[in-house]
Amino acid sequence: MLRNRNRKQVLLKLPISAIRPNPYQPRKEFDEYELRQLAESIRQNGLLQPLSVRVIGSGYYELIAGERRLRACKLAGLTEVPCLLHEVDDQQSALFSLIENLQRKDLSMFEEAEGIYRLIKLYGLSQFEAAEKLGMAQSTLANKLRLLRLTSYQRERITAAQLTERHARALLRISDPELRDKALNTIIADQLNVQESEELIDSMLNGQTEQLKPSPKRTPIINDVRLFINSISKLVDSIKKSGLDAKTVKSETDEYIEYTVTISKHPSKKVV
């Protein structure tokens, strides 16, 4: 994309010491094993694809694209590297760095989202403008930006557990960070797939809804001592009607009322 927009391109060899990293580089993590493999390939075959750079000062250049290749060249012990020199401004440099990583699929889902967010904030782009520049649907871009609602701790755990973007989007259905942490813990511990994770989140959200429902108001059964005494009297009458002897002894003080109920184990004998 950058080559088509810029007619002035110069291929030259530059000392590695003169190349500065790209401050807009969206990629934060580089696999050390893969870097060593690439470094060994460069030792044997040289760097087949030049780095892309721009001038930033007298004798100094800024990397536009090729951070991974530059690191591998350093590991390989190279002092000079082939570079394509471009005439681009800050916005074009940031845009091209992000696009190159997206096309190579070198970014994690969160690095991609952070790169898009940085591009929007730095240059005051709307989501529509950013999506147009990156060649993606606005809805896709919006979904990627939503991933940044996850806490940094949650992002780290999702990345470490190698969960998918669909896992991450499912977790976003939970607005409470603590409840989301619990869901994430279960997903990782039980190695749940996306569908199982969705079902877990459904059950957690439904349970939360039940907890939020107000408890029905309960009318007190007994709100007066007289009602309580009346209830006991009715109960004793019912016992007598069933054929059992029942006696009550009531004593009362200033502090309390004491009721003793004595019930016979055997039916009362009727006098004929």
Q: Tens digit of pLDDT for each residue in 19-49?
A: 999 887 777 778 888 899 999 999 998 998 8
> Other CB atoms closer than 10 Å to residue 192's CB: what's the count?
19
Q: Which residues contact 170 (CB under 8 A, 6 or more apart)?
A: 194, 197, 198, 201
Q: Which of the residues 32, 62, 67, 100 is marked catalytic?
A: 67
- Cα angle at 241 between 236 and 244, to 5 degrees? 75
DSSP conformation class of 250: E
pLDDT of residue 105 exceeding 80: no
Overall pTM surpassing 0.75 (yes/no)? no
pLDDT of residue 92 exceeding 80: yes
Return the pLDDT at 258.
76
* Residue 145 C-beta-side C-alpha neighbours within 13 Å: 18
Cβ–Cβ < 8 Å for 154, 171: yes
The SS3 of residue 31 is coil
| pLDDT tens profile 116-173 | 898 888 888 899 998 988 888 999 999 999 999 999 999 999 999 999 999 999 999 9
pLDDT of residue 2 exceeding 50: no
DSSP conformation class of 137: -
pLDDT of residue 70 exceeding 70: yes
| Single-letter amino acid, residue 231 | S
Cβ–Cβ < 8 Å for 94, 26: no
132 tagged catalytic: no
Distance CA 21, CA 4 (A): 23
* Residue 19 C-beta-side C-alpha neighbours within 13 Å: 29
Return the pLDDT at 222.
46
- Dihedral sign, Cα of residue 171, residue 172, residue 174, residue 180: positive
Long-range contacts of 224-231 (CB under 8 A, 24+ apart): 225/257, 229/257, 229/259
More confident residue, 266 or 61: 61
pLDDT interval class at 103 (50, 70, 90): low
Distance CA 165, CA 122 (A): 25
Distance CA 129, CA 195 (A): 34
Cβ–Cβ < 8 Å for 94, 119: yes
Q: Which residues contact 52 (CB under 8 A, 6 or more apart)?
A: 2, 63, 64, 65, 66, 83, 84, 86, 96, 100
More confident residue, 5 or 65: 65
